């Protein structure tokens, strides 16, 4: 009996220790300065944006997991996979919303090729190296080849495709090649105007390259959940700006508590 009590005590102690470690560990990101945030309506102030933030918006929300050149992965995260019609893996969290969005698009005549979902760090390294070498083959210097590669290809441990929550979609009429001119296709415009209703955001907006460090990509969508996507779309933000607002709100609340 004493052994059982002692074992139960140790189990409870270990749970408490893990809980304390989790409580003391906060998600931290390198983010743009809050004053650099640019909503689509420039008459809206930062204070107004913070006031309008969803109450549930949390920097620790796994759907808002930020990966970019300033916030690199140390290892491939665990992801519960599902698979697209052509065998591409992606995070199960966006399976139902993605299917719903594609079904809604099909009702108005738009069908999409699933170009890319999850990529491991190793796969992203291969993509980066391949693009870099293709520019070298075309005669560009190493410096120019790296500059041009960086415009559209994230470093090996800096791609949000590795979260499994990003998806590249192209209208079936456009094929499988990723060209910025896709933005003019009606299927691309439908996605840009409707994806937020299903929890997706157009991740790399035109005019926000200084923040995202990636050029405009009309095919790249990121799942963040409906509530967050609606806010991000409404105010013309990118994910970095949204998380910076959440962090600023949290910092202000901590100051007020003190």
- Looking at the annotation, which residues are catalytic? 217
Across-strand partners of 68? 71
- First-to-final CA distance of the chain: 47
Q: How far apart are CA 100 and CA 198, in angstroms?
A: 7
Q: Which of 236, 240, 238, 242 is nearest to 221 (CA)?
A: 238
Q: How far apart are CA 148 and CA 215, in angstroms?
A: 10
Do 244 and 26 touch, CB atoms closer than 8 A? no
Gyration radius of the chain's alpha carbons: 21
């Amino acid at each position: 009996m004493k052994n059982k009590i002692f074992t139960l005590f140790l189990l409870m102690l270990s749970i408490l220790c893990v809980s304390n470690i989790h409580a003391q560990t906060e998600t931290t990101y390198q983010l743009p300065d809050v004053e650099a945030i640019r909503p689509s309506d420039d008459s809206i102030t930062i204070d107004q944006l913070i006031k309008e933030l969803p109450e549930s918006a949390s920097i620790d929300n796994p759907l808002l997991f930020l990966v970019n050149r300033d916030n690199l992965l140390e290892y491939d995260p665990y992801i519960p996979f599902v698979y697209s019609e052509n065998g591409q893996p992606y995070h199960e969290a966006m399976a139902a919303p993605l299917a719903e969005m594609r079904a809604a698009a099909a009702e108005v005549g738009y069908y999409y090729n699933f170009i890319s979902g999850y990529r491991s760090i190793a796969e992203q390294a291969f993509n980066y190296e391949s693009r870099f070498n293709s520019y070298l083959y075309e005669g560009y210097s190493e410096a120019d080849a790296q500059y041009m590669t960086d415009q559209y290809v994230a470093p090996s441990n800096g791609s949000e495709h590795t979260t499994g929550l990003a998806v590249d979609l192209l209208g079936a009429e456009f094929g499988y090649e990723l060209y910025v001119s896709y933005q003019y296709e009606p299927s691309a415009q439908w996605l840009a105007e409707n994806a937020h209703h299903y929890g997706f955001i157009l991740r790399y907006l035109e005019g926000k390259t200084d923040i995202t460090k990636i050029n405009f990509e009309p095919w790249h969508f990121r799942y963040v959940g409906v509530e967050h996507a609606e806010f991000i779309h409404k105010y013309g933000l990118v994910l970095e700006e949204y998380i910076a607002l959440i962090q600023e709100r949290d910092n202000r609340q901590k100051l007020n508590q003190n």
